[in-house]
Homo-oligomer: A and B are copies of this chain.
Amino acid sequence: MVEDRKLAVLRAIVEDYVATQEPVGSKALVERHQLGVSPATVRNDMAALEEEGLIAQPHTSAGRIPTDKGYRFFVDRLTSLKPMSAAEKRAISGFLEGAHDLDDVVQRSVRLLAQLTQQVAIVQYPTLARSTVRHIELVALSTSRLLAVLILSTGRVEQRVVEVPLELTDDLLGELRIRTNAAAVGERIGEAAAALGELPDQVAPETTRTYAVVVAALVEAMSDHGSDERVVVGGTANLARFGDSFEMTIKPMLEALEEHVVLLKLLGEATSSSQVTVRIGAEGPYEPLASTSVVATGYGASDGALSSLGIVGPTRMDYPGTMAAVRAVARYVSTILDEA
């Protein structure tokens, strides 16, 4: 079938270009892949593929390279994730095994992902939206200041120092502790914030203001880092391996990596899906990264996708391998979070 061979040619071009990083010509193609046809035939196919906008030549009389559209086609139709080898699986679980902390899990995931894909890895902290309040602890610092500690089911801990208008006695502190915990523990942060918000009205008038400031701090701790989510980046050293134009790729990339808001936007699309999402070149929302791709997926405990992780690298990358690695890491991290 002619159509079939054209696609085989596209696949071969993508694979060779990814491997060698050089435009690939018709002759080299038939040598490296068993297409069973002559270079001339391949040339005809290439002309057709170019017509369709799937490949392009950097200059007349050079080999072809895939266009963004070509990669898109390749990813969507010509590839299936290659499963991880047993050794790789062992490496992954081994790497994530020893984590005792939420911070630690995230940290290790980034490192792992960067190492596995040889790209720049990005991991978003588990979103708080779905997490519940595990415990609230209030510690007196002086007679007028206390430390409010908020412990969430994801293992995240937030803390705020609060100045209170009333002198802090043990009794008052105990009462605060009991009431805030009663109102919030076990609730999702949305409901917890609401329940806490009503507390000040339910207590003796002279303590209303005190309750109000403490509650305000807790609610702020919930919403603050809850919506303004954090990301961690790793494997920046892999930028050095890109060999791509510094100005075009590396510089904008470094700038983007500093802007966590941008990263969140890049990952954002993938958060909701447990599929691996691929954004190729200029498909994304952020122009400076027009010559890079993002491979990302949602992850999280079994009660629904909580957050996302992924990698960003040059459009010319090993999509099947990268996608498989991203998926594998996401799954393992999800399991770990489930256990905790």
Contacts and interface: CB of A to CB of B under 8 A. Distances in A.
Nearest to A256: B237
B240 A255 contact: yes
B235 A258 contact: yes
Nearest to A185: B139
Interface stretch (A6-14, A58-66, A151-159): A151-159
Interface residues of A, number: 30
A240 B250 CA distance: 8
A137 B138 CA distance: 10
A134 B147 contact: yes
A212 interface: no
A218 to B, nearest CB: 12
A256 to B, nearest CB: 8
Contacts of A255: 237, 240
Given A137-B149, A149-B151, A155-B159, A236 B250 contact: no
- This chain: copies in complex: 2
A194 interface: no
B157 A159 contact: yes
A117 B137 CA distance: 40
Contacts of A258: 234-237
Name the prevailing secondary structure of the A interface residues. mixed
Contact of A100 (B161, B251, B257): B161
Interface string A34-52: 0000000000000000000
A160 interface: yes
A340 interface: yes
Contact of A237 (B141, B151, B246, B257): B257
A159 B250 CA distance: 37
Interface of A: 100-101, 134-135, 137, 139, 141, 147, 149, 151, 155, 157-161, 234-237, 239-240, 246, 250-251, 254-255, 257-258, 340
6 contacts: A101-B159, A101-B160, A134-B147, A149-B149, A240-B254, A240-B255
Given A135-B137, A155-B159, 17 more contacts: A100-B161, A101-B158, A101-B160, A134-B147, A147-B151, A149-B149, A155-B161, A157-B157, A161-B340, A236-B254, A237-B251, A237-B254, A237-B258, A240-B246, A240-B250, A240-B254, A240-B255
